[in-house]
Structure 1
């Protein structure tokens, strides 16, 4: 009986190793994952989860996380005496829990990290010349300025989004219904978007939102500047459609927002693109974005300042830690550029627009 009990303690930790190896092997077969998981199992099961939890006025996933965090803290406090002395037993318990989470993470959503990359499916060349980036920057600035004046009727006034978060969540679906024909597979149905109950911790962690892979609820940080909320919402919805890559979610979220009939959605998308264009210009040469920055309306610059001030207020060592953690998490899940992958959507956008012109 004692031997059997020892074996049981090792089953889940051993299964964790098996799972990791299996996932790494499956990563070599993106076509299989694309056809049988991302286009087969996942759309059906994720729609079921959104149907189950989408109607709730609160985030069920956040409540679930809250309970789990409470139970974890309670377990640690209960076992604090001799915790490290019993490291083998406690280590096996931790690995057993990790094994369960690892399985459900990949089963319910995580395998989307290993599907066929979007640039391959759409035959997009992500590489671009400096002139391409400069041309896109000019275009994004012009669009941002135009929309800022249209919304405020004054080029020196910051845009203040007049909608509630609930209204933004409802309207976000319009842009997905209007996606170009070659992206119709990412049309969004069965809404499940929530204000995160952990918006304060998310702010300290540096996150504007996230997808709960276990409930398929899109979580949005409601504390951050509201003018950015339409784009954040569109980005998290892209995760719900089965996209793992952050650059691809930025790309799909951008296209969904600019194809929305609402000016606030378009403004959020174009101003976000401007910031990423500036970041990429600075990577090429320090100070290269300055001449373009001077072309923005004062109202747009005020929105940028509002965003920068907000995130600086929450900049702590906690933020630095989670940036490091999430950077490595992304690198371990097919996104070799880590956090830099967010800005890589500019290459996707340039290549996609070139394809549209040539076609």
Structure 2
């Protein structure tokens, strides 16, 4: 009977979750209330987790795995029903899915960030893509030699200091766009399992259950400030990955710290360059050959930095992330990260019109 009861409750939570998704997908007015609710929920949960210098969710995840293993062992040692245990796991997962979707996940169906900032996104020509890429390269190059660097030539970073100040870019944006006008943003958390996340290709992650934006400290230096702003964009209910990248660009380049500004322009160049490389390798090569040595060196060091972590583990993790994104109507899956180029080019065309 316990097994049946758990399965019934699992079905109830699954149906409730699907109902929430249906409402979000087909009732646009739903977001008149949901966005504020989600932000308040993240502020409350993040406020509980903020006193801890580590990502609380990482500890909770380990404890949950240990609990599941403990109950599984007890199931066999005390000869309890394995199906009942499986039903319990299914119930737990259905509850977590319901909470995730209800608290934050529905932001995937919210009005786009382009609407929030008054940006018109249309198609673009190859020439416009080339011009935008050259512009991003020039902006990044202008800052590349101004920022403080290590003896090895990398951008000099202080994770703790940057984690505390990352929200300053959004504070500046809040004076221009109401969507970003929030009282205070939390400190970005340093992820404890850096090696694990590096092998899965994860530079940052936002966990709605604790309202924490976490970043892998092993992220390449030139991308670190931008990545912090990306994860804070998720905290601000920007769920789509391309939109979080665009929000991070706006926040980074509006930040008073030159390191954040450089990181923003550097990242924007990377996204636009990759799009141009796919469209016209000859033009991409011309921009690459003509840009600053310092910017080019950062790009090369970034590739060398991440290369040792590439492999089967990263491929598997990417497939999981791809499935998650597609489940929330992001048709391009992990390719959506690169779709930030569409928003960046639209922004460039609007700014230079």
Same fold, judged at TM 0.5 (above) = yes
Match of 1:193 among 188, 195, 202: 188
Match of 2:334 in 1: 339
Shift of 1:123: 4.9
Conservation of the 8 A alpha-carbon contact between 1:152 and 1:158: no
Matched residue SS, 1:27: helix
Cα distance change on mapping 1:353 and 1:278 into 2, 3 Å: closer
Q: After alignment, is 71-80 or 60-69 more displaced? A: 71-80
1:27 equivalent to 2:24? Answer yes
- SS of the counterpart of 2:338? helix
Q: Does 1:351 align with 2:346?
A: yes
Give the counterpart of 1:289 among 284, 288, 296: 284
Superposition pairs of residues 101-250 of structure 1, within 5 angstroms: 101-121=96-116, 122-151=118-147, 158-161=153-156, 163-179=157-173, 183-188=177-182, 189-250=184-245
**Quick check: 1:17 aligned with 2:11?**
no
Q: Deviations over 1:63-83 (max 9, x none)?
A: 1112112223444455579x9
Instruction: Give the deviation of 1:120 after TM superposition.
Output: 3.9
Q: What is the CA distance between 1:186 and its match in structure 2?
A: 1.8
1:45 and 2:4 correspond: no
RMSD over aligned CA atoms reads: 2.7
Using the TM superposition, give the Cα deviation of residue 205 of structure 1 relative to its aligned residue in structure 2, in angstroms.
0.7
Question: Comparing 208-217 with 23-32, which one deviates more in the overlay?
Answer: 23-32
Q: 1:243 and 1:288, CA in 2 relative to 1: closer, same or farther beyond 3 A?
A: same
Cα displacement (A) at 1:332: 1.0
- Aligned-residue offset at 1:187: 3.4
Contact 1:12-1:100 within 8 A present in 2 as well? no
SS in 2 for 1:210: strand
Q: CA offsets per residue over residues 108-155 of structure 1, 9 Å max, x none?
A: 2111111112234435224222122111111111111111122269xx
TM-score (norm 1): 0.89
- Residues 1:129 and 1:53: Cα distance change in structure 2 (over 3 Å): same
Structure 1: runs of 5+ lacking an equivalent = none
- TM-score by length of structure 2 reads 0.90
Corresponding residue number in structure 2 for 1:61: 57
| Cα 1:193/1:26, change in 2 over 3 Å | same
CA distance in structure 1 between the partners assigned to 2:281 and 2:155 by the alignment:
31
Aligned length: 351
**Corresponding residue number in structure 2 for 1:71:** 67
